[in-house]
Structure 1
Amino acid sequence: MTDFPFDVVAFDLDGTLADTAPDLTSALNHALGALGRPAIDPESVRHMVGHGVRALLARGLAATGESSEALIDQGFPIFLDYYTSHIADGTRAFEGLEAALDELTAMGVKLAICTNKLEGLARELVTALGWDGRFASLVGGDTLPVRKPDPAPLFEAIARAGGGRAAYVGDSITDTDTARNARIPCVAVSFGFSDRPPEQLGADRLIDHFDELVPALRALGASVLPE
């Protein structure tokens, strides 16, 4: 281990590690179409992501008419079937991510994923993106009885990665609230799926490109961790 201030760096998945909006939009519009609803534009969907499939369906239904638990129940398997078959058609890692992950790994830092995406879907996406073995742990929205912004999933992801000093990287208020609830330093990316201006997320550091991640984590560690 180097003098890097964190033993584990955990990441959100959708909108943080990867731009999943194209495939989430396709799956949502497929489900909405099956329910007789019009399609939603991709930019709008970007601001609906982050709370899991059911919440995404609820927001999509509300944006196109009535939303109800019955309609969500009806659309849920339609969405899952389509998304599972098209999980990485248009999804790509954000620019600079791979180099940042390589740099962290070279310093002995363990990488983790903490997402509200269903664990099975998250694992399928990780495989599709060629990341098998890249992350020491993955905790999804259904791994535990609770999900973000409850801090338990983040604690679990960190523990499964080996524990120690940790930071969290995300793109939404759910992520910054999770880090705050866990009392863990947080970096937010400005290019994700936030439903508000990134400056309003309350992150300890905000980055505009993954080239800035490692320097931001070093600065963050120096400012919040004891000598």
Structure 2
Amino acid sequence: MRPAVVFDLDGTLIDSAPDLHAAANAVLKAEGLAPLTLAQARGFVGNGAPVFVQRMMAARGLPEAPELHARLLARFLEHYEAGVQLTRPYPGAIEALRSLQAAGFRLGLCTNKPFGPTQAVLAHLKLSGLFGTVVGGDSLPRRKPDPAPLHHALAALGADGGAAAFFVGDSEVDAECAHAAGVPFALFTEGYRKSPAESLRPALAFDDYTALVSWLSQPR
């Protein structure tokens, strides 16, 4: 049986920062606040929507008030769920998924993006049928870097009993999750990572999806 391969989404398969940037700035505009730069929005990605909004608030000097955070998060999610028009897959990512699926690999998705926006962008990009399971940032009580979401995805793919499995991501959060779960980590180097690639201790670091397919296809 071919291994299970679980992917992160934002920064790994898709560049969603432009849509996140637009959603954040729509919220800030309604509050009469200055917009974020695209670079700031990229830097806030990785730990889920609540943390993104928390970082957005800090960048604009807003107090850490739970009621304010909840209100801005709700507005952010309204824009975020519909924000798919600016999101693009990374070159070769979709072709790699289709190639792996055709070769018999069991594919899953484990992201800190909320489940609703995840489903919306997968449908928009016609990727929904490629994954045997999808775990969003709000699917479980805990999210990455806790290993629970990755373990959940692997169990859904039938790879929780020591079968070969891999996790593909782009960030420090993904690397920590993979290592905590005891799963080999493949690092896509063109995503939202802030640290040197070697510090994430990947089994593979790649910037071309054909290299990932070749590596995963090697006999083990």
Compute the TM-score of the two structures, normalised by the length of structure 1. 0.89
Q: Which residue of 2 aligns with 1:37?
A: 33
Letter in structure 2 aligned against 1:118: P
Displacement of 1:34 in angstroms is: 1.9
Q: Which residue of 1 aligns with 2:84?
A: 88
Residues in 2 aligned to 1:29 and 1:9: alpha-carbon distance in whole angstroms: 35
Structure 1 unpaired stretches of 5+ = 223-227
Q: Which residue of 2 aligns with 1:70?
A: 67
SS in 2 for 1:167: strand
Q: Deviations over 1:30-57 (max 9, x none)?
A: 1122223211111221111011111001
Contact 2:84–2:120 at 8 Å: present in 1 too?
A: no
Contact 2:81–2:116 at 8 Å: present in 1 too?
A: no
Q: Which residue of 2 aligns with 1:162?
A: 158
Root mean square deviation, CA, Å: 1.6
Q: Which residue of 1 aligns with 2:147?
A: 151
Q: Which residue of 2 aligns with 1:118?
A: 114
Q: Which residue of 2 aligns with 1:183?
A: 182
Letter in structure 2 aligned against 1:135: F
Number of aligned residue pairs: 216
Residues 1:206 and 2:205 are matched in the alignment: yes
Structure 2 unpaired stretches of 5+ = none
Displacement of 1:218 in angstroms is: 4.5
Residues in 2 aligned to 1:82 and 1:193: alpha-carbon distance in whole angstroms: 21
SS in 2 for 1:62: helix
Q: Which residue of 2 aligns with 1:19?
A: 15
* 1:131-150 to 2 correspondences below 5 Å: 131-150=127-146
Identical amino acids, percent of aligned pairs:
38
Question: Which runs of 4 or more aligned residues in structure 1 lie more than 6 Å from their structure 2 counterparts after TM superposition?
Answer: none
Contact 1:19–1:94 at 8 Å: present in 2 too?
A: yes
Q: Deviations over 1:111-151 (max 9, x none)?
A: 10001111122111111111121111001111111111111
